[in-house]
Amino acid sequence: MSEARDQLIELIKDEAVFHGDFTLTSGKRASYYIDLRKLSLDHRAAPLIGQVMLDLIDDIDGVVAVGGLTMGADPIASAIMHQGVARGQVYDSFVVRKEPKDHGRGRQVEGPDLEGKRVVVVEDTSTTGGSPLTAIEALKKVGAEIAAVAVVVDRQAPAKARIEGEGYEYRYAIGLDDLGLEAQ
């Protein structure tokens, strides 16, 4: 394990895991909630997220951009882009809107032209895989090639099986066991 990953795990455990009765995006109920946005937008954690995610995707050939469905993916993609520059690696980032804009150019995918380019779809946490799969559908419409889905924290729920069932590689940096939590 890298030092950055160890530090990130401690920050998540200390500041982003909340216990109680929560409804997840999927509609499922949970006794804990991992609020990764609290940290992905934090000056201490964002660089760590970028480093950990770079380590996670470093061996995927030909990737030119990272991003995913707004809002969860946005700070993750930005952290990867900025930490990549610090390492001499070049990754652009992109944002996938939930729906195409109804004005201007009517785009659903914002950022660089991705036609024919390899991308990694990123997400902060994933339970069902719905957000990455929504992003993938929009990316396919603009001709992007999906190299993988990479998630910071995997909730050890149907996301992995669902995404792999659609034919995409699924990777995650931190699992529930790393956080001292059990799957629900």
Q: Where are the domains of the chain?
A: 3-179
Contacts of 173 (CB under 8 A, 6+ apart): 5, 8, 52, 53, 55, 56, 150, 151, 152, 153
Averaged pLDDT, 16-27: 88
Cα 60 from chain centre = 15
Indicate left, alpha or beta for 83 from its phi (over 0: left) and psi (-120 to 50: alpha).
Answer: alpha
pLDDT of residue 85: 96
pLDDT of residue 25: 72
Is pTM beyond 0.85? Reply is yes
Is 58 annotated in some ligand binding site? no
Is 103 annotated in some ligand binding site? yes
Written as six digits, the tokens of 158 are 């149907």
Measure Cα distances from 14 to 10, 36, 140 in Å: 6, 12, 38
Model confidence band, residue 28 (pLDDT cutoffs 50, 70, 90): confident
Residue whose entry in the numeric block shows the structure tokens 């529930």? 176
Is 124 annotated in some ligand binding site? yes
Model confidence band, residue 169 (pLDDT cutoffs 50, 70, 90): very high
Is 127 annotated in some ligand binding site? yes
Written as six digits, the tokens of 172 are 């995650």
Residue 111 has pLDDT above 90, yes or no: yes
Written as six digits, the tokens of 1 are 């394990």
Model confidence band, residue 105 (pLDDT cutoffs 50, 70, 90): low
CATH number for domain 3-179, candidates 3.30.70.1400, 3.40.50.2020, 3.40.50.150, 3.30.200.20: 3.40.50.2020
Tens-digit pLDDT profile for residues 69-103: 999 999 999 999 999 999 999 999 999 998 876 66
